[in-house]
Copies of this chain bind each other. A is one copy, B any other.
Amino acid sequence: MNYTFSSGMSSLKPSVIREILKNSGNTIPLSAGNPAPDAFPVDEVREIAARVLRDEPILALQYGVTEGYAPLIEELIKLAHERYGVGGDDDSLIVVSGAQQTMNLMSQIFINNGDTVITEEPAFIGALNCFRGFGAKLSGVPLEADGMDIGILEEKLKTEKNVRFIYTIPNFQNPAGITTSLEKRKQIYELAEKYGVIILEDNPYGDLRVSGESVPSIKSFDKAGIVVYSGSFSKIISPGMRVGFTLAPKEIISKMTVAKQTQDVHTTMLTQLIVYEWLKEGRIDAHVKKICDIYRRKLNLMCDNMDLLLSDYLTYNRPEGGLFVWAKLNEGINMLDYVKRASANGVSAVPGNAFLVDMSSPCDHIRLNFSTPSDEGIVEGINLLAKTAKEMKG
């Protein structure tokens, strides 16, 4: 039979990164985005899981409510307020099955086929593909070293039709590694308010700061009820558990709850309970400090080696946190050729066009990840990238 797929989905292809990873075989995975395995609180999770299944097995195995386990919601509201400075009386919170679900719920409740989503460019491919799957027209605002180009953002807000929301990762953006400055965060908020557009503030990496000072989130300015804040435990505890949260104005959370009910009914109870106990026991500060030490070491190891071996071939800004380094190849090195040749040489990187609104646009950037490979893998990977660059420059 010939299947006729929905218009949003018919053109959507699997993530480019995913396909690269499938074919990257035994290469050193600088193309990945997994948290470092030694950053998982394995002993704590093991102990808590055993306790939960001993003390509350029926709670862990029975249906839960769509909003999430009520004591976890309370704990998250407290965390959001105290740790991230977000959430007021007009906000509410829902537990989601990883932050990707926040992207999906936002798409389902807001996007009609043909509506516009304004996004940073480059941007996280998982979010872009999600918006595309609902038939959104993506409109990209170039990222500068301190966040979106504000002039272009305003131009887009003025001219684009049916703009449903602005998508941004203000901390250690994926892929660009950029942190949006406080001034630009305020400008983005003011423009959104002026044009009556919602902001989807995605903060999966905010805790992974290895240098510099933290910057208040856009949601912390939100008096007008226009900011949806997406939080995640994937980079703090574990991505395999699929637990995140959305904090947003009550009416939006209420609509997301209806959508989530039709999507997966509720998030896995066992992992909700694990996150709840872990938070309640006050483990987050010590653990985040520990994993920031790991990521600081790995980030600096990668960047120091890049400075040593790659400075003739590419430029980049050292990020203050997150998982990624975004590097611009010098003129004369064709990006796609470089990525292919690097892969043949045994190291994989993500071609930057994967993160563009129009993936067929030319792009001279690659994304490198330092959390997945071992320390030895980072050193060897940068060596192989330098070898590849040397080969291509003759």
Contact = CB atoms under 8 A, between A and B. Distances in A.
A18 interface: yes
Contacts of A237: 61
Given A6-B111, A15-B261, 9 more contacts: A5-B109, A9-B109, A45-B53, A61-B240, A63-B234, A108-B133, A240-B268, A240-B270, A268-B270
A383 interface: no
A66 B4 CA distance: 22
A102 to B, nearest CB: 10
A251 interface: yes
B265 A268 contact: no
B251 A264 contact: no
Contacts of A249: 1, 3
Which of A13, A46, A242: most chain B Cβ within 10 A? A242
A101 interface: yes
Interface residues of A, number: 80
A105 to B, nearest CB: 9
A13 B258 contact: yes
A67 B161 CA distance: 36
A8 B58 CA distance: 35
B34 A61 contact: no
A60 B266 contact: no
Interface stretch (A35-43, A70-78, A174-182, A318-326): A35-43
B259 A9 contact: yes
Given A50-B50, A258-B13, A58 B35 contact: no
Contact of A262 (B63, B133, B267): B133
Contacts of A7: 112
A257 B14 contact: yes
Contact of A242 (B15, B129, B268): B268
B54 A35 contact: no
A225 interface: yes
A4 B8 CA distance: 20
13 contacts: A3-B252, A5-B255, A8-B108, A12-B258, A18-B66, A42-B53, A49-B50, A49-B270, A61-B237, A97-B97, A97-B264, A129-B261, A270-B271
Nearest to A41: B61
Nearest to A128: B262
Contacts of A57: 40, 42, 45-46
Contacts of A112: 6-7, 113
B262 A126 contact: yes
A62 interface: yes
A292 to B, nearest CB: 18
A269 interface: yes
A128 to B, nearest CB: 9
Nearest to A243: B268
Given A45-B53, A97-B97, A241-B270, A110 B37 contact: no
Contacts of A3: 198, 249, 251-252, 255
A162 to B, nearest CB: 9
